[in-house]
Amino acid sequence: MKETILSKRKVLTFISGILICITLTACTSKGQDAQLTGNNDQTTQSGTVQVNEATDTDENTETVTDSASDKTKALTGQWEMIYTIYESQYGKDEHYNSCDMSDDPYSPSSAMNIYEKDGKMFADYKFSGFESNTKYLGNELLLLNEPAYKECENQEWCYKFTDPFEEDESGVQKITLIDDDTLICSSVYTDGEVGSDEYYYSVTSNYYIRKESEKLKDRESLRYFETATVSNAQDLLNSIANNKKVLLEAGTYDFSAVNEANIHNDFVTYEYGEYKISGVNNFCIEAKEGADVLICVDDAYSPVMHFMNTRNVTLRNITAGHNVEPGYCSGSVIELESAFGMKIDNCRLFGCGTYGIEGRYIDYMEVLNSDIYECTYGLLSLGNAYTCNFKDCTFRDSSDLSMITVDSGYDINFENCEFKNNRVSEEFSTCYFVELSEYAEVTFTDCSFKNNQYSKFANRKVKQINCMISDNGDPDMSNVDESHVTDASGLISEYDEVAKRQKEIDDSFGSDSLLDQQTMNSLSYESYDMWDHLLNDIWGYLRNTLEEKEMDELTEEQKQWIKEKEASVRAAGADFEGGSMQPMLEYSTGSDITKKRVDYLMDKFVR
């Protein structure tokens, strides 16, 4: 993929718009390296790299014709890709970088087997990504006495792929070893005249670890290239950076007490009395083992922690809340805007925040073993949220509006969670315990509801599976769907009913009568919801019938399927984002993919 850079605006739009696509097509990616370890002198506080203003060239490079040395033979073995680093420079001043882990949704996966045969080196290579799959066997590797790229830690040698991807030199992939367990496969791309304002220079580097390496036993640790320990709020804010874990000593971290003039971090901005953390990737804030940590603000009108345009941020073992007298706030505890892969693990989020978590444009959020309590509007408020999982959490002692609000979103799940002592005020007759917009869905599995007060549980259908309810009064549960099938014959009957209804929906779309967009959106959602509900029932049946080993293997397969499904769904509506057709395109795509998965599981395990 080679784009001609016509203007600065075009390049910046290109980078932000198809960054994921770039990382998913490494065989044709154009990029330049960022260091994993070693000398990092050229990395700034914001994580950008100052790139030398020169192009890679094979001029004056001599091919090594002797047999590979013992050092190069160290490449031999099986390798698994862990992450991709993409960096670019436009002109002299514009820089961009990102790091995508292979375990993350939408991210590619790759494996490589390198071996020696008849005095030559070969590679079997496999690369899988969104709508992109590459595989070739027995590709010969050519040894060169040059670095794979200028800033590579190994400056002595690299191997060059001699495969069909050599339409131009910028598409050539090179591999090298930077330690016994770490291999890099990289490609460099340049465009424009060196030193000019239109000069563009970028690198994509795929990092691999040996499959037998001990490093793979703690995959999350590979996400962080640096760990720092801090003991005050100012140092915490200044420590925020890409691919970094910050450990907190015991104590109180009051952001309201930090002087704005002492913050020197491109990832942190100060607006209207609050600090916002924006643009950071692969970042973790974690209390040291055994440390009691409180993160707070003294302003009831500001969120305690505000994250914008972030990827894969983790909060672990912390308490966060407003350091004010109990009452009404207008700031939530955790506020999220355009957050991908947010993880909140073993945290305590308390009011008087309006909500424990408030978020818009959320993808793949995971909240585990956490306690959300004493909030003054409700527990959660999510908009345009996709695949948000709450597991082993407690939601308690909050009031007064709808406790859980979802405005457009699907795959919102609560598993083994407890909801107790929450109250929807009688003053707000239009509020519910669960309030959903037209295009929203929520599922509760193995959850308990104790001593909550409300007049009606939900305004739209929600799913409850194996839940226990002992709330006060006589709540209206008319919008609760507690049906779920547990045996093979029931699943077959349910499949027949869903297939019958699907045909009616298909006939409606194919009829001569013109359907308005709202109707088409509604039918598309119904179609997706039916197949998704059936898939959940099949999964419950399989959990009770398959052997543990077989279920574990199927679960890993299912995780990959979900990753690919969600990528396809988002891509289907990307060109119409914010438009009236977006829901129809996303739900119809999700319906088609889910039906195929249902058919596969039914044929293999049920029928």
Same domain membership, residue 152 and residue 52: yes
The answer as to whether 329 is a domain residue is yes
pLDDT at 339 over 70: yes
559-567: long-range pairs with CB below 8 Å, 24+: 561/597, 562/105, 562/387, 563/105, 563/106, 563/107, 564/130, 565/590, 565/593, 565/594, 565/597, 566/105, 566/106, 566/363, 566/364, 566/386, 566/387, 566/411, 567/105, 567/106, 567/130
For residues 456 and 541, membership in a common domain is answered with no
pLDDT given for residue 66 in this prediction? 45
Q: Which amino acid is at 247?
A: L
Average pLDDT of the residues of the chain: 83
Q: What is the pLDDT of residues 170-217, one digit of tens each?
A: 467 899 998 888 999 998 888 888 778 888 888 889 999 999 898 888
Q: What is the pLDDT of residues 258-268, one digit of tens each?
A: 999 999 999 99
Give residues with Cβ within 8 angstroms of 22, minimum separation 6.
1, 29, 30, 31, 86, 204
Q: Are residues 589 and 555 in the same domain?
A: yes
Question: How many domains are there within the chain?
Answer: 4
210 lies in some domain: yes
**Do 336 and 210 share a structural domain?**
no
The CATH number of residue 548's host domain is 1.20.1270
**Taking the CA of residue 502 as centre, how many other CA atoms within 13 Å lie in the half-sphere pointing to its CB?**
18
How confident is residue 343, by pLDDT bands cut at 50, 70 and 90? very high
Give 7's pLDDT tier (boundaries 50, 70, 90).
very low
Determine, yes or no, domain membership for 191: yes
When pLDDT is cut at 50, 70 and 90, the band that residue 134 belongs to is: confident
Looking at the structure, do residues 454 and 501 belong to the same domain, yes or no? no
Q: Is the model's pLDDT at 224 over the cut of 90?
A: yes
Residues 253 and 325 in one domain: yes
The answer to the question of residue 434 being in a domain is: yes
Using the 3D structure, point to which of 415, 449, 482 is the last residue of a domain: 482
Mean pLDDT score, 405-431: 90
Domain residue limits at 125: 8-218
End position of a domain, from candidates 218, 238, 264? 218
My answer on whether 247 and 354 are in the same domain is yes
Same domain (yes/no): 101, 119 = yes
Question: CA of 277: how far to CAs of 267, 465, 471, in Å?
Answer: 6, 37, 39
Verify that 143 and 260 share a domain, yes or no: no
Check the CA dihedral 164-165-166-168 and report its sign: positive
DSSP 3-state of 46: coil
Q: Flag whether 380 is in a domain.
A: no
Q: Assess whether 197 and 118 both reside in one domain.
A: yes
- CA torsion angle for 370, 376, 379, 380 (degrees, to 10)? -120
Among candidate residues 180, 195, 218, the one where a domain is terminated: 218
* 67 and 126 inside one domain: yes
What span, in angstroms and rounded, lies between the C-alpha atoms of 236 and 255? 9
Residues 44 and 168 in one domain: yes
- Please give the pLDDT value at position 324: 85
What is the residue type of 172? V
DSSP string for 419-479: EES-EE-TT-TT--SEEE-TTEEEEEES-EEES-B-SBSBSS-EEEES-EEE-SS--B-TT
The verdict on residue 373 lying in a domain is: no
2 in a domain, yes or no?
no
Distance in angstroms (rounded) separating the CA atoms of residues 12 and 40 = 25
More confident of the two residues 270 and 190: 270
Phi-psi region of 282 (alpha: psi -120 to 50; beta: other; left: phi over 0): left
Of 105-119, 450-464, 482-496, give the lowest mean pLDDT range: 482-496
Is 371 a member of any domain? no
Lowest mean pLDDT: which of 18-32, 70-84, 104-118, 147-161? 18-32
